[in-house]
Amino acid sequence: MTVEEAEKVLRENFAPWVLDLGLRVEDVGKGTARVRLPWSDRLAREGGGLSGQAMMAAADTATVIAVSGARDGFVPMTTVQLNTTFQRPVKDADVLVDVRLTKLGRTLAFADIAITADGRPDDLVAHATTVYAILG
């Protein structure tokens, strides 16, 4: 799957409020994906930090892109579990969401997700894991 095909999966399969986050697919492979969540004051909480809800939505969405890359295209799927640990606030920076599938079965996919502030690839701001049910 190409980045352009992954962008099409994003445009055609997500709710308008997810698209409003401005997510951009930067890379997609066989079970991997990198998605950028651009900084926006609209997504900041009191105190200026990027909201956890936005980062969780980005992680959840990026998992769909990684599964689609592994399956050579979008298939219906749904989140079974999303667990996120926030490690430090992000202010005035895009975040990069890097997904790696740890297991892709016939009906379930498991992923490990690193969320970093742009420009600081070794500085983890959040870590997530997801489990997806493959419906099609």
Segment 82-125, tens digit of pLDDT: 999 999 999 999 999 999 999 999 999 999 999 999 867 678 99
Segment 9-62, tens digit of pLDDT: 999 999 999 999 999 999 999 999 999 999 999 999 888 899 999 999 999 999
Query: If DSSP codes are grouped into helix, strand and coil, which group holds residue 29?
Result: coil
The CA-atom distances, in angstroms, between 14 and each of 42, 49, 57 are 20, 25, 11
Order the strands of the 95-104 sheet from edge to edge. 24-28, 32-37, 95-104, 108-117, 124-134, 77-86
